[in-house]
């Protein structure tokens, strides 16, 4: 299993738009084969920090996910709404 943590510091005036687009991304991603879980979380102390936490069966599932229409159309839009983005991949021990 591979876990992706994608932390986004969203521009203050873009939070609602980010959440709307993110909901579409989450919905599409959850339907994919190899997706164990996929959710967006809001930082309790800073609502500008929105983090995707994703669990994937393997790298092949991630590669397929990264090529899907919902990913390739939504993620570039999300990127334009953030001040900073940090993506880390983890493996379960």
Is residue 8 pLDDT above 90, yes or no?
yes
Stretch (H or E) spanning 25: helix 15-30
| Mean pLDDT of the residues in the chain | 97
Domains and CATH numbers, the chain: 2-91 (3.30.70.100)
DSSP E strand stretches across the chain: 2-10, 35-42, 49-56, 82-91
- In tens, the pLDDT along 39-76 reads 999 999 999 999 999 999 999 999 999 999 999 999 99
- From 30, 56, 47, 48, select the one nearest 39 (Cα to Cα): 30
CB 52 within 8 A of CB 4: yes
**Token pair 């092949």 in the structure block, residue:** 60
Percent of the residues in the chain that have a pLDDT greater than 90, as a whole number: 98
- CB-based burial of residue 49 (10 Å sphere; 0-12 exposed, 13-18 middle, 19+ buried)? middle
CB 38 within 8 A of CB 86: no
């Amino acid at each position: 299993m591979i876990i992706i943590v994608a932390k986004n510091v969203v521009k203050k005036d873009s939070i609602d738009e980010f959440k709307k687009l993110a909901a579409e991304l989450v919905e599409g991603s959850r339907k994919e084969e190899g997706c164990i879980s996929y959710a967006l979380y809001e930082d309790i102390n800073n609502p500008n920090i929105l983090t995707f936490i994703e669990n994937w069966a393997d790298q092949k599932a991630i590669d397929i996910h990264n090529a899907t229409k919902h990913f390739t159309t939504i993620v570039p839009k999300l990127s334009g709404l953030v001040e900073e983005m940090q993506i880390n991949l983890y493996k379960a021990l």
